[in-house]
Structure 1
Amino acid sequence: MRPLARTTRHRTNKTNCIVHRGHGVLMVEEERFPFVAGDVLFVPANALHRFVEFSDDFVTWAVFWGPDGGELPQASAS
Structure 2
Amino acid sequence: MTMISTTLASRLSAKTNVRRYTSQPRAPRLWLQRLFWRSELKTLDLAQMRDCGLDPMAVAREAAKPFWRD
Q: TM-score, normalised by structure 1?
A: 0.25
Q: Point out the structure with the larger helix share.
A: 2
Q: TM-score, normalised by structure 2?
A: 0.26
